[in-house]
Amino acid sequence: MATDTRGGRKAASAHAAKAARRPPAGSAVTLTGRGGIVVVLSATLVGSLGGSLFGLHAAQGFLFVLGCLLAACTTRRTDLLTLVVSPPLIFFFVSLLSATVGSLGDRSFAVSVLLTLITTLTSNVPWLFVGAVLVVVITVPRGLPGNLRELSAGIAADNPFRGRTSLRGRKDQDDDPVRWDETPGRGAHEA
């Protein structure tokens, strides 16, 4: 049987990749990490739009939490790390977009955007906290620690300084091909 570049069997790694793409037994829909981000972004945008059109101040936060819940439950296990880091960024981006659109036409555009953004973020901190914590609480039993171990192993494997004791430690002469004590052409001038 053929082996891949890391010395493992191709059939085993292909089987593991196929199993990771399979939807969970209780879920009919499985999202990629990007799909989960789109769900949270869409829900937050709809909440922001509904809040500004109908005067529902809690709509953005409530739909943000609902989008986080939905995404955390349906995102496939291999993409959970992508989903976990995204909700606070999404909430900030939507709040900034909403503040920018809402401030169009004001005399002092920058001040209006800044004040609206600060007001939106401070009034929605509980929703932001609940959504972010909910994603972590749901994804930990679904396999987030395994994703973190895999990331750590990947970073360690790509370390260009692996095997060296330290950067400042002694090096063998074969480690550094440039010899600073040898001046090129010194023998030609002396002869």
Q: What is the pLDDT of residue 178?
A: 59
Residue 73 placed within a domain: yes
Residue 125 placed within a domain: yes
Residue 57 placed within a domain: yes
Burial class (CB in 10 A: 0-12, 13-18, 19+), 60: buried
Helix axes 59-74, 87-102, angle to 10 degrees: 150
- Average pLDDT over the chain reads 80
Distance between CA atoms of residues 126 and 133, nearest Å: 11
Residue 120 placed within a domain: yes
Q: Which two tokens stand for residue 129?
A: 């906290």
Place of tokens 């400042």: 168
Give the Cα-Cα-Cα angle 17, 20, 21 (nearest 5 degrees).
90
Q: Which two tokens stand for residue 166?
A: 């330290």
Count the domains in the chain: 1
| Whole-structure pTM value | 0.68
Length of the chain, please?
191
Residue 15 placed within a domain: no
Distance between CA atoms of residues 124 and 82, nearest Å: 23
For 139-152, write each residue's pLDDT tens digit: 999 999 998 999 88
Distance between CA atoms of residues 61 and 73, nearest Å: 19
Residue 97 placed within a domain: yes
Q: What is the pLDDT of residue 51?
A: 87
- Nearest to 72, CA basis, from 106, 25, 30, 105: 30
Whether the per-residue pLDDT at 31 is higher than 60: the answer is: yes
For 77-127, write each residue's pLDDT tens digit: 989 999 999 999 999 999 999 999 988 988 899 999 999 999 989 999 999
- The secondary structure element, H or E, covering residue 7 is none
Domain of 52? 30-153
Residue 24 placed within a domain: no
Residue 148 placed within a domain: yes
